[in-house]
């Protein structure tokens, strides 16, 4: 393919297929890190900008403003650079340095929202989004993207990711994906159902998130989940999700580290968590089947955290025995 713009390379990401040991199932890993911004959020970022242009909210030379944990901001920074917009990303200290550097490399402006040390993650995210919204109100010719409540987020996936999955694995039995804004998992599910696909859709969140549990708490997985104390996304449609699962940080990060060493695949934290729960879900099943796992981003943006032994040790996340077991499943 010869593209006329980097935007033409959004989507149509590759898949890896293998059958883990002690399993009768084939696993298909959809590698969204091969989008130009290295994550699934490129798809939503582009659709939200195109939607804002189409309805007249975003005018030539305008400013795009968004609060983000990193991946959506990277996608928006690329789009703004190509289409001639100013982009302001409102970030907090939880965003990995690798993501911050990427956003800045594309020419975006960064506003660092630094919450008090006593503020929990949920309150920090509320303040971050409030700041972005207020900044947009006082910035002429600007829009606040508001990905958690923007229907164009969900609308990005039925004709793109869902279509790609149907073309690649038309007889898939299960689909596993992370849930954060809920746009990707709900939008993909919507596309599958509109096409008459009977695939069961399973969403995975970090333990501590409150989509499927009332017992919230802190977690390190970036870009997925909904911390306690913050309103659930208004675009969430629970009728499009058949089952919800939770995964610990240790399980998610151990999967990332083990898969890199046994299969040469670098996954981000949420993707590692989804793959871990997918394997544990299908392992006891006696019948044969096919499961698709959406890997939302890659591990390249987590070198200072997940793939850093010192950081993992400081946060009590290292589990060498679990990493060894995972390597045996997939090698």
- Look at residue 21 and give its three-state secondary structure: coil
Got the DSSP string for 124-169?
Answer: HHHHHHHHHHHHHHTSTTEEE--GGG-HHHHTTSTTTHHHHHHHH-
Of the candidates 33, 41, 190, 290, the residue annotated as catalytic is 41
Q: Report the C-alpha dihedral over residues 181, 184, 190, 192, rounded to 10 degrees.
A: -160
Asked if 109 and 66 count as a contact pair (C-beta separation under 8 A), the reply is no
The distance of Cα 102 from the centroid of its chain, to the nearest Å, equals 16
Burial class (CB in 10 A: 0-12, 13-18, 19+), 77: buried
Does the annotation mark 280 as catalytic? no
User: Measured over all CA atoms, what is the biggest interatomic distance in the chain, rounded to whole angstroms?
Assistant: 60
The residues assigned a catalytic role are 41
């Amino acid at each position: 393919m010869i593209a006329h713009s980097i935007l033409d390379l959004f989507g149509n990401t590759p898949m890896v297929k293998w059958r883990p040991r002690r399993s009768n199932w084939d696993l298909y890993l959809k590698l969204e890190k091969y989008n130009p911004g290295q994550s699934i959020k490129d798809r939503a970022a582009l659709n939200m900008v195109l939607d804002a242009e189409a309805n007249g909210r975003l005018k030539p030379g305008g400013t795009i403003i968004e609060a983000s944990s990193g991946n959506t901001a990277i996608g928006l920074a690329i789009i703004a650079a190509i289409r001639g917009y100013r982009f302001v990303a409102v970030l907090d200290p939880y965003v990995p340095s690798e993501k911050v550097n990427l956003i800045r490399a594309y020419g975006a402006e960064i506003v660092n929202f630094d919450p008090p040390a006593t503020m929990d993650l949920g309150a920090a995210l509320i303040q971050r989004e409030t700041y972005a919204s207020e900044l947009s109100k006082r910035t002429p010719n600007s829009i606040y993207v508001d990905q958690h409540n923007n229907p164009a987020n969900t609308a990005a996936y039925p004709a793109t990711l869902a279509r790609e999955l149907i073309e690649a694995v038309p007889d898939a039995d299960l689909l596993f994906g992370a849930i954060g804004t809920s746009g990707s998992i709900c939008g993909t599910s919507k596309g599958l159902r509109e096409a008459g696909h009977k695939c069961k859709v399973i969403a995975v969140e970090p333990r501590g998130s409150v989509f499927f549990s009332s017992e919230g708490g802190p977690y390190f997985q970036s870009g997925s989940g909904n911390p306690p104390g913050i309103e659930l996304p208004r675009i969430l449609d629970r009728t499009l999700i058949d089952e919800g699962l939770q995964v610990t940080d240790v399980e998610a990060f151990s999967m990332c580290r083990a898969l890199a060493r046994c299969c040469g695949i670098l996954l981000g934290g949420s993707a590692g968590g989804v793959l871990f729960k997918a394997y544990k879900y299908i392992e006891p099943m006696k019948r044969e089947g096919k499961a698709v796992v959406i890997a939302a981003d890659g591990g390249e943006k987590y070198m200072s955290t997940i793939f850093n032994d010192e950081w993992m040790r400081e946060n009590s996340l290292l589990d060498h025995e679990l990493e060894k077991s995972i390597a045996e499943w997939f090698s």
